[in-house]
Amino acid sequence: MKFFLALLLGVFALLWPALSIHIVPHSNGSLPLRTSYDFIVIGAGIGGLVVANRLSEDASVTVLVVEARDLDDRAEDVTVPGNVGQENPSRYEWTMTTTPQEFLDNRTRSFAQGRAVGGSSIMNGLCWTRGSAADYDAWRNLGNPGWGWSDLLPYFLKSENYTTHADASLHLSPTHSKHGRQGPVQVGYPRYVYNQTYNFLDGVQALGIPLNEDLNSGYATGASLVPSSVTAENQSRADARAALDVDVLVHLPGVGSNLQDHTMVQPVYKYTAPAVFTALDIVGDTREAVKAEYFANRTVEHLPPTYDVTLRAGYAAQQAEIRALLSRRDVSAYELMVTSWGQLAVSVMHTLSRGTVHARSSSIFDNEPPILDLRLCSHAFDCEILRMGLEFNDRLINTDGTAAMMPRHAGGVVDTGLRVYGTRNLRVVDASIMPLIPGGHIQSAIYAIAEKAADIIKQDN
Ligand SMILES: *[C@@H]1O[C@H](CO)[C@@H](O)[C@H](O)[C@H]1NC(C)=O
Ligand SMILES: *[C@@H]1O[C@H](CO)[C@@H](O)[C@H](O)[C@H]1NC(C)=O
Ligand SMILES: *[C@@H]1O[C@H](CO)[C@@H](O)[C@H](O)[C@H]1NC(C)=O
Ligand SMILES: *[C@@H]1O[C@H](CO)[C@@H](O)[C@H](O)[C@H]1NC(C)=O
Ligand SMILES: *[C@@H]1O[C@H](CO)[C@@H](O)[C@H](O)[C@H]1NC(C)=O
Ligand SMILES: CC(=O)N[C@H]1CO[C@H](CO)[C@@H](O)[C@@H]1O
């Protein structure tokens, strides 16, 4: 039994100060645990920590946070933003491997997740974007009243302490009413802005893409310098049950389905050698053909074979929402993220492919990684979006939810109170509840979801 268990009592103090904190990072089983707690939070990722922090604001409430992994050591590979991606994978990452991606090249991909108190927030790219107001209105439209943009905005504000960038030449003027200044997450900009950033912003404007002075105002298209979380300073229930010998208490086909990720390619262009790629190497004149295929929506064959009638119904509803989103001017189809070293990474913001993630073992003590199948580009439109992004790159040079919040009849796993269908007191508060991934980096949305979850739980108790 290699599984290492750390029990964190009360609330974890690393991120925020809170009342009556009692941290026991390295339990060997000898902890003096209470016989009961008002709340038990499993997993000290963003969702778990935010919820535990807010619930423990009431000092009379007892909260137990259970996390399998360590406190990170605050070393530079964690704390210095420039070291993103440089951390030793054996330290704070679960580097999982997908199944062979049959819709790409039949090769596996690695898939890293944070493995420490703080979850992926200790090793992600720090990008602090929300996506469009319409992205969240799509959640509401999918059968989740109370989860539209205007419902979530107070929680986006509650989570952040937003600091404005000082450099007027960048034309960043945030809408004050859409930013928080009292929240626990420090949000800011880099002090030094590379010339390449100005060049990029000039270049995209020359290609007709306007500047967006505040990408987080609900209008998420255009070009901008993105704030960071920095101190300004898919398979099936029956199969799974049979294979894993797990007693199924509630049959929810949606568990482990609806897996979405921002599919991304990260080409790096050498500034001095523009001939590395030509447009013809990577794109053809496919835009109209792709659009035609998309609108013909013959997509259902692309779904995982294990999708039952509820999941197919839910997917049809999602597809209708995505179609509406992609016809708007304030919703992005892809993100082009420029770095100072010449990388112009293209990510699909609203993917139509759906993957799966399922347990390989019925026991967490086997410490077996899950069977993870992202099914990247199983809907060909996702890869066509990537092609369009690469095509734009080329022009520029020549001048990145398995427990979805959806109605149960639509393949959902949790209700709008984030409660797992068929249970009384089991809730999920993490990225898996997103019925559709928003067109932005997901961490700020997870903070907002968790802030709202804490309020919902407080109201219900
Ligand atoms: C467990 O940890 C406690 C506190 O660190 C220590 O006193 C105790 O000896 C340990 N017990 C075992 C079985 O290792
Ligand atoms: C991937 O494997 C499947 C099944 O073995 C095969 O039909 C398909 O052609 C392969 N795709 C590629 C790109 O090799
Ligand atoms: C918010 O950030 C400012 C500096 O930008 C800092 O002075 C202030 O203490 C921070 N507030 C909170 C609640 O963290
Ligand atoms: C950035 O551009 C400015 C204006 O063209 C130039 O003066 C400066 O030397 C450049 N900085 C670097 C580090 O290349
Ligand atoms: C296309 O999508 C619409 C709306 O979701 C649906 O009513 C229609 O049946 C779909 N058509 C095909 C060919 O799947
Ligand atoms: C690495 C480091 O020094 N981080 C500090 C940045 O500033 C915040 C807020 O003052 C501190 O909490 C961090 O420890």
* 231 C-beta closer than 6 A to ligand 6: yes
- Measured from the CA of 296, which atom of ligand 5 is nearest? 13
Q: How far is the CA of 76 from the centre of ligand 4 (A)?
A: 29
3-state secondary structure of 62: coil
Q: Which one of the ligands is nearest to 314 CA? A: 5
pLDDT digits (tens, 9 = 90+) for 55-80: 988 888 888 888 777 777 777 777 77
Q: Which one of the ligands is nearest to 166 CA? A: 3
Q: Which one of the ligands is nearest to 202 CA? A: 4
Give, in order, the Cα–Cα distances in Å from 158 to each of 50, 174, 181, 218: 11, 16, 8, 16
Q: Are 235 and 358 in contact (CB under 8 A)?
A: yes
d(CA 302, CA 319): 12
Which residues have CB under 8 Å from 242's CB, separation 6+?
none
Q: How far is the CA of 198 from the centre of ligand 4 (A)?
A: 10
Exposure string (b/e) for 401-413, b if CB count within 10 Å is 16 or more?
A: bbbbbbbbebbbb
* 163 C-beta closer than 6 A to ligand 3: yes
* 83 C-beta closer than 6 A to ligand 6: no
Tokens 């941290």 identify what position? 23
Return the number of other C-beta atoms located less than 10 Å from residue 346's C-beta. 24
Q: How far is the CA of 297 from the centre of ligand 5 (A)?
A: 6
The protein residue with its alpha carbon nearest to ligand 5, atom 2, reads 297
The protein residue with its alpha carbon nearest to ligand 1, atom 1, reads 28
User: Confidence class of residue 455 from pLDDT cuts 50, 70 and 90?
Assistant: very high
The protein residue with its alpha carbon nearest to ligand 3, atom 2, reads 161
* 22 C-beta closer than 6 A to ligand 5: no
Q: How far is the CA of 179 from the centre of ligand 6 (A)?
A: 21
* 297 C-beta closer than 6 A to ligand 5: yes
For a pocket test of ligand 6, which of 185, 230, 231 has the largest count of ligand atoms closer than 8 A to its C-beta?
231
3-state secondary structure of 368: coil
- Is the four-CA dihedral 150, 443, 72, 47 of positive or negative sign? positive
Q: How far is the CA of 195 from the centre of ligand 4 (A)?
A: 6
- Measured from the CA of 105, which atom of ligand 2 is nearest? 13
Looking at residue 263, its pLDDT comes to 66
d(CA 406, CA 424): 17
Mean pLDDT confidence for 301-326: 87
Give, in order, the Cα–Cα distances in Å from 97 to each of 101, 109, 151: 11, 6, 36
pLDDT digits (tens, 9 = 90+) for 18-66: 334 455 555 556 566 788 889 998 888 889 888 988 898 888 888 888 8
pLDDT digits (tens, 9 = 90+) for 140-182: 999 999 999 999 999 999 999 998 876 777 778 888 899 999 9
pTM of the model: 0.77
In the sheet that 334-338 helps form, which strands lie side by side, from edge to edge? Answer: 264-265, 344-348, 334-338
Half-sphere exposure of 285 (CA within 13 A, CB side): 0
Looking at residue 286, its pLDDT comes to 53
Which residues have CB under 8 Å from 285's CB, separation 6+?
none
Exposure string (b/e) for 368-380, b if CB count within 10 Å is 16 or more?
A: eeebbbbbbbbbb
Report which DSSP code applies to 29: S
